[in-house]
Amino acid sequence: MVAAIIMHMPGLWVKIQFEDMKQYINSMLAAITEGSFLLLLMQLICCAGCNMNKLLWTHCSVVVYGCHLAVSALIGSFGAGFIGEHVIGKMYVRLAAFSPQVLSTASYIYYPSRLVQDTTTLERLRRNTQKLTTTLDLFPTIQSILHGGTPPKEDNLTEGCMTGIDLAAVEIRDDRVVVASNSVSTKKKYHLWALMAKESALYHRLQKGSLVGQGPNNTYVMSFKECEERSCFSELDEPGKDQFRTAIATFKNDTSIRDEVKESDLVNFFERLVNY
């Protein structure tokens, strides 16, 4: 249990800043449950040849936990919320709607200075944390660390998909624009689509019914600034169309984004919506 809590310590440290005591206790229990399961699974794999010998099991357990802590200290710790922090009763809003809490997911990264060749890398990483990032950026950043600062070439597994960037190697542009979608890997009739800039997003919801004041087939401009729940959404007007025409042009001109993503149904839908 202690090792499981240590495994999730960076994320729990972030959560304590904005969760009340009841929510934080639930987060702690979730961390203990998930972490214990993963560590026990590693034990079982590692100890498969121990024949349940208690001494060998103990030694193997020490090795598993020691390796976990050593790896965390050496290569860094990363994490991000993936279910959103917007809960109504026992339901996570992200299952049927987007909101600022769902799209602005808390992320963290610890990048050991011993792995950095020069100070410019850490400076760039610090600057990037103040700009628009996505959870997709964590993958190439971890890959880069594991390969000594040089990420491997992309394979066909990510062909046609929205991908992230190495936060320690690439300077994020101030006007970066990204897309967000649910059910990416499945063909469903309903969807949640968003074209996101740093302070706002153009968002379309197509779902069975209404939720948190959002209609079943409606488009909104979502604000990421401090606001009350329903005041975070406004109708798309002409100034809004101008704003997101500029955002789409920025997205189209971003060389880090693949052409398949630029011509996706999501992007084409928003292009028609704002008369791009």
81 located within any domain: no
Looking at the structure, tell me whether residues 183 and 159 fall in a common domain: yes
Q: Which of 75, 105, 130 is the last residue of a domain?
A: 75
Q: What pLDDT does residue 237 have?
A: 94
Looking at the structure, tell me whether residues 101 and 193 fall in a common domain: yes
Looking at the structure, tell me whether residues 182 and 47 fall in a common domain: no
b/e burial code for range 91-104 (CB count within 10 A of at least 16 → b): eebbebbbbbbbbb
Q: Quote the tokens at residue 163.
A: 């991908």
Q: Are 8 and 26 in contact (CB under 8 A)?
A: no
Q: Quote the tokens at residue 232.
A: 């975070």
Looking at the structure, tell me whether residues 125 and 232 fall in a common domain: yes
Q: Which of 75, 103, 136 is the last residue of a domain?
A: 75
Nearest to 184 by CA among 198, 202, 163, 199: 163
Q: What pLDDT does residue 219 have?
A: 94
Beta bridge partners of 218: 205
Which residues constitute the domain of residue 115?
A: 91-273
130 located within any domain: yes
228 located within any domain: yes
Looking at the structure, tell me whether residues 232 and 188 fall in a common domain: yes
Neighbours of 199 (CB within 10 A): 10
Beta bridge partners of 179: 195
**Residues in CB range of 136: below 8 A, 6 or more apart:** 162, 163, 164
Looking at the structure, tell me whether residues 102 and 28 fall in a common domain: no
Each residue's pLDDT tens digit in the chain (276 positions)?
Answer: 666 556 556 566 655 655 667 766 776 777 677 666 666 666 666 555 555 555 555 555 555 555 555 555 554 555 555 555 665 666 667 778 888 888 877 777 777 777 777 788 888 888 988 899 888 888 888 887 777 666 656 555 556 677 888 888 889 999 999 998 887 656 678 889 999 998 999 999 998 888 778 889 999 999 988 777 667 899 999 999 999 999 999 999 998 888 888 999 899 999 999 999
**How many domains does the chain contain in total?**
2
